[in-house]
A and B are shown apart, each in its own frame.
Chain A
């Protein structure tokens, strides 16, 4: 450690006792920061940010680190702020269906605590082990988005530490609230490039009295897609409808929740003339396929065309593509063998190009350097110019995970 660094280390430990030199385990998409600090309070997090701004240190935030390999490697990373110690459930007003939590709270234990009161935070955790903060920052969602929406739909209030250390709040603790800008929206999907989320308030839902899955094994893709459409447009109100081809022949499953869940599922089974009902999901439900992971987002009505494009591109580029997901959101798993990287990259560029015409967006989530070197993981993005301007206003020094997000933001 050079002298200047030693001085910085001392300064960091003064504002946050739990600071250490970073190791390989702290790497952000391969970039190892100099230090890792785990603030015990929001005030410590704010002091760290002030110090980082003063010394021009680039900061990346981490929750459980389950998606730290998503996005671009940051252009610079000096300090990793580990929010795992901020793991308190601050307030759960069951009667108001609201919970206020710190970012390091993991979804799993939170679900268990909320379930004691017959409630749930209706967010899926496809990677497993995720924190609340990481779920907000990556805007990750799963099967139940169909009924409950994405993290941005359930987040009703947020407290953040900005790049200069200012602690600010927007939204509130009530579900219905239109006072001021909803900055929580900006922070969902921001990958920590605007500030640290140090507190979040979520809308909760009652746990459904019963859950039932209708599981279908259609003969071919056309039958599968047609069944999924029937499910989507049915008045039996499924909470989720998913497709999986990662295990081999396509399987379709739909979740029914609440009153008469099983008989609603059974009624659809009869009208579709196929399948079985179960009180358990199929094993692949709510997970991502293995291997290099590609996320495909598209307008609901384009499901069949999107599957067709993926299949065709996979054939042309000799890629074994395993798809899993549903209307509007599919994940594709392909080989992670470095030797296949050129084919994988060609496949990604092909579907990205062709799906754009259908309003689709292709994002590379988990991939080795050999793939990343060949394709931009984010693609072109949408209103990137506006995003850059927002970034400049919130982080004028460009210290927060610089370059990790789309468009070099």
Chain B
């Protein structure tokens, strides 16, 4: 294996230049994990290409030598989707960070994969546009990673996910070809299937995204409730009234406590839950909806309204820092990401409370209340050797709960390596087999980010009795393909 990687390193140095190939063990170790640090593997080799052609050449070499490879953007993923292979190559796209085009008339931007999510918005803002999907890591996460994970964010309730905003992607396929997947092309929506495939169907090298017009008005309010039940009733009332807020987020008492300890967000004292509701759109529409929302939050004991962008940022500060903030109140914690139908939220939250008591682990709840996407934070003390396992078990029990209620084991963080073992709880063997057919169509050698998504290694095998390429009659000019 070392020989093979050594040979590849030499070839890649020839292809990319020596400053684009990392073999030094100390430097390799800086790539050992993504945002989910519990899984670590030092990559065999790291390359830092600057063009699609270089990536294609690297992939071609990997295929020739049957070497597994993994693509990585900024490494902020939370499911180990960019976990490298010790016997493989890590292709890092951080040097490909040019915004190639901002086309305001056409409402689109063309960017390289290493461009950060926020950089697109920053480039578009002077024109009155922005890039709508906004994962919490948007300051650092790359658009290539966003495509791989189909990233969401607080505002996806109204505006949708990455997949709803990608118009085309140039990719390097797992056999080293550069192909453009365009939403305008007829036939299978390969672009849609590629987005969210967690880096297993190829590597995006150039992406065209839709830009969204800035709303005329944004109104943000924070409502404090005695309990999550009371907050949940307000959410149901808002959705029931036919309002689609830009965001509707909830934090429970423990999450608020953590945020206070960390960023002193100064949410109303004594709140059992806070709800952040953001409305955006045409001014008159927002004004009308806003009045309705205030009415529907009648159980709130305090409502704060952001008068300007500074106050809006203050309201969001606690929510946006919630994950990291939990570090202030617990030595260690697991960030969970599950989804339940929104109407099941009260029952599921009550059950999480019961599980928390049963396992003796505190659970802080932060969630996208509008679409039922829960982020329970399971707290534990990693000094206690058994606590980690217990927290892990509880975390898994929460996913079971989500699946039992007709939900999903992941709403936005992805399956990666972290949740592949939970896939059979949500999908049958036949379901996974159908997904694997797509995998095999793209990557018959299982070299492109192997070991992710699927719970057990699967082989592709040959397609039985299939003619490949052009029909002989067509090739000979005797028939036309219609």
Contact = CB atoms under 8 A, between A and B. Distances in A.
Interface string B454-473: 00000000011110100100
Contacts of A302: 106
Interface in A160-179: 160, 162, 166-170, 172-179
Contacts of B319: none
13 contacts: A181-B439, A182-B150, A183-B193, A185-B191, A235-B213, A235-B215, A259-B287, A376-B481, A382-B190, A392-B466, A396-B466, A397-B465, A403-B481
Interface stretch (A36-44, A60-68, A92-100, A318-326): A92-100
Interface string B149-191: 1101000110011011001000001000001111011111111
Interface in A83-97: 93, 95-97
A370 to B, nearest CB: 14
Nearest to A394: B437
Given A235-B213, A263-B284, A181 B438 contact: yes
A259 B438 contact: no
A361 B184 contact: yes
Contacts of B156: 176
Contacts of B242: 118, 206-209
B343 A95 contact: yes
Nearest to B460: A393
Given A172-B408, A176-B372, A180-B432, A205 B186 contact: no
Contact of B343 (A93, A175, A235, A372): A93
A258 interface: yes
A224 interface: no
Interface in A20-77: 72-73
B437 A236 contact: no
Given A172-B408, A235-B215, 11 more contacts: A170-B431, A172-B406, A174-B339, A180-B435, A181-B197, A235-B282, A237-B216, A258-B285, A393-B441, A408-B474, A409-B187
Nearest to B289: A259
The 9 A-B pairs at the shortest CB distance, nearest first, are namely A301-B106, A382-B185, A185-B192, A206-B242, A260-B284, A259-B285, A235-B216, A168-B434, A177-B408
A363 B239 contact: no
Contacts of B128: 233
A282 to B, nearest CB: 23
Interface string A378-409: 11011111110110111011100001011111
Contact of A301 (B107, B213, B441): B107
Contacts of B357: none
Interface in A178-200: 178-183, 185-186, 188-190, 194
Nearest to B189: A185
A408 B430 contact: no
B427 A177 contact: no
B431 A176 contact: no
B309 interface: no
Among the interface residues A169, A229, A397, which one has the most CB atoms of the partner chain B within 10 A?
A169
B281 interface: yes
B14 interface: no
A152 interface: yes
A296 B428 CA distance: 40
Given A299-B106, A383-B181, A177 B410 contact: yes
A387 B190 CA distance: 8
Nearest to A181: B435
Given A176-B156, A235-B214, A396-B466, A405 B426 contact: no
B240 A95 contact: yes
Interface of B: 103-108, 128, 149-150, 152, 156-157, 160-161, 163-164, 167, 173, 179-182, 184-193, 196-197, 213-216, 236, 239-240, 242-244, 281-282, 284-289, 339-343, 368, 371-373, 406-415, 419, 423, 426-428, 430-435, 437-442, 453, 463-466, 468, 471, 474, 480-482
A98 B239 CA distance: 12
Contacts of B191: 185
B193 A236 contact: no
Given A139-B189, A386-B441, A174 B182 contact: no
Contacts of B463: 392-393, 396
A179 B373 CA distance: 13
A182 B188 CA distance: 12
Given A186-B193, A383-B180, A301 B434 contact: no
Contacts of A372: 482
B341 A386 contact: no
Contacts of B179: 383, 385-386
Contact of A178 (B185, B196, B214, B407): B196
B13 to A, nearest CB: 31
